[in-house]
């Protein structure tokens, strides 16, 4: 039996903190979606691999997802075990947790097969979409695999691929698992992309030095940093409205907690970045305070944000 919680803990402390707040069956679907997105992200970020190998593996990963999505019984292709063994042997990352996750791809796909047909289709379709977008960016990178985004339009396109699609996936799962939210469907879908983009922009602004060291330049050189900060603020305002739309629409409390927490963290991190510059990071004590304050508001029925 695959240890999904262990894989989650080893590959994302943030999501290991927030995903358990979701109710089932959404929790399992989001866990599996995160792990599939992380596998694709590991291939995209595989600086130790040449560009051609990263493209090839992303294409093969998409093929596994698409074949499973088209399978009448929802099972992954039999070749998944051999393919994953090959990927992990090539060690796409120095992060052992990511390598172990890649090796566990067949087990993750087996768990996806256990989802309801509707949830399974949502997870596999969106994971394939983001892998395709990542393939496109890797293919258009420099020969040595380094990525250099040259315009604000390219930056927003990249944020959509790696995070905006996540917002759309979450929205599809929320609407599927909480039918009462159908009345809010348009409002949620119209803000799903902003939700993901805002969180991703904050991560990019925070990690700009580390990314540059690894050969990734996400911030366009001809775009003023203040313009990107303003875009992030606007996106986070839209993300906050997404959370409040869930809450007003009668979403389960776990949906509200899961979406509100990263928005709270991003808003505070953005303020730190504007004050202290790249690399600023919220102290763990402040993170725990924000979590406690969110719980206290929800306990009394107050707005989450």
Element at 149 (helix H, strand E)? none
pLDDT of 142 > 90? The answer is no
Task: Name, in order, each residue with C-beta under 8 angstroms of 25's C-beta and a sequence gap of 6 or more.
Answer: 115, 116, 119, 177
- The answer to whether 185 and 174 are in contact (CB under 8 A) is no
CATH number of the domain that residue 184 is part of: 1.10.600.10
In this structure, are 104 and 55 located in the same domain?
A: yes
Which pLDDT score, from 0 to 100, does residue 220 have? 87
In this structure, are 133 and 166 located in the same domain?
A: no
Task: Say what the pTM is.
Answer: 0.93
- Look at the block and give the residue holding tokens 């304050």: 293
In this structure, are 137 and 281 located in the same domain?
A: no
Q: The tokens of 201 are what?
A: 């922009």
Tens-place pLDDT, residues 79-113: 999 999 999 999 999 999 999 999 999 999 999 99
- Look at the block and give the residue holding tokens 């949620």: 188
Q: How far apart are CA 286 and CA 154, in angstroms?
A: 33
Which pLDDT score, from 0 to 100, does residue 144 have? 67
Q: Which residues of 238-262 are buried (b: 16+ CB within 10 A; e: fewer)?
A: bbbbbbbbbbebebbbbbbbbbbbb
In this structure, are 168 and 139 located in the same domain?
A: no
Tens-place pLDDT, residues 196-235: 999 999 999 998 777 667 667 788 888 888 899 999 999 9
Q: What percent of the chain has pLDDT over 70?
A: 97
Which pLDDT score, from 0 to 100, does residue 93 have? 94
Mean pLDDT calculated for residue range 3-20 = 89
Degrees, nearest 5: CA angle 19-16-237: 60
Better-predicted residue by pLDDT, 15 or 76: 76
Which pLDDT score, from 0 to 100, does residue 143 have? 66
Which pLDDT score, from 0 to 100, does residue 14 have? 77
Which long-range CB contacts under 8 A does 287-293 form with residues at least 24 apart?
290/261, 290/264, 290/265, 291/17, 291/261
In this structure, are 224 and 297 located in the same domain?
A: yes
SS3 content of the chain, % helix, strand, coil (to 5): 75, 0, 25
Which pLDDT score, from 0 to 100, does residue 192 have? 98
Which pLDDT score, from 0 to 100, does residue 251 have? 98
The domain tally of the chain equals: 2
Confidence of residue 157 (pLDDT cuts 50, 70, 90): very high
Domain span including residue 52:
1-145
Tens-place pLDDT, residues 250-303: 999 999 999 999 999 999 999 999 888 877 788 989 999 999 999 999 999 999
Tens-place pLDDT, residues 33-75: 999 999 999 999 998 899 999 999 999 999 999 999 999 999 9
Mean pLDDT calculated for residue range 162-166 = 96
For the chain, how far is it from start to end, CA to CA, in angstroms?
Answer: 39
In this structure, are 285 and 167 located in the same domain?
A: yes
In this structure, are 173 and 128 located in the same domain?
A: no
């Amino acid at each position: 039996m695959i240890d999904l919680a262990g894989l989650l803990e080893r590959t994302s402390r943030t999501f290991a903190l927030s995903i358990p707040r979701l109710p089932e069956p959404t929790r399992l679907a989001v866990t599996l979606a995160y792990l599939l997105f992380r596998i694709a992200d590991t291939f995209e970020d595989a600086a130790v691999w040449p560009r051609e190998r990263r493209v090839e593996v992303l294409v093969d990963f998409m093929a596994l997802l698409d074949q499973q999505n088209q399978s009448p019984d929802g099972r992954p292709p039999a070749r998944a075990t051999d393919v994953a063994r090959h990927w992990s042997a090539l060690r796409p990352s120095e992060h052992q947790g990511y390598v172990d996750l890649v090796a566990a791809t067949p087990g993750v796909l087996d768990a996806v097969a256990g989802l309801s047909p509707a949830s399974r289709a949502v997870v596999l379709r969106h994971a394939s979409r983001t892998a395709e977008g990542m393939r496109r960016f890797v293919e258009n990178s420099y020969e040595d695999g380094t990525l250099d985004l040259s315009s604000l339009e390219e930056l927003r396109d990249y944020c959509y691929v790696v995070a905006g699609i996540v917002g759309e996936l979450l929205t599809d799962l929320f609407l599927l698992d909480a039918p009462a939210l159908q009345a809010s469907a348009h409002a949620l879908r119209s803000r799903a992309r902003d939700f993901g983009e805002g969180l991703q922009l904050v991560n990019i602004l925070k990690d700009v030095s580390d990314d540059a060291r690894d050969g990734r330049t996400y911030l366009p050189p001809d775009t003023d940093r203040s313009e990107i900060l303003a875009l992030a603020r606007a996106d986070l305002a839209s993300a906050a409205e997404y959370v409040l739309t869930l809450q007003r629409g009668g979403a389960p409390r776990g949906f509200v907690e899961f979406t509100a927490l990263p928005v709270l963290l991003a808003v505070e991190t953005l303020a730190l970045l504007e004050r202290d510059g790249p690399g600023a990071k919220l102290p763990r004590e402040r993170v725990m305070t924000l979590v406690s304050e969110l719980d206290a508001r929800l306990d009394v029925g107050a707005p989450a944000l």
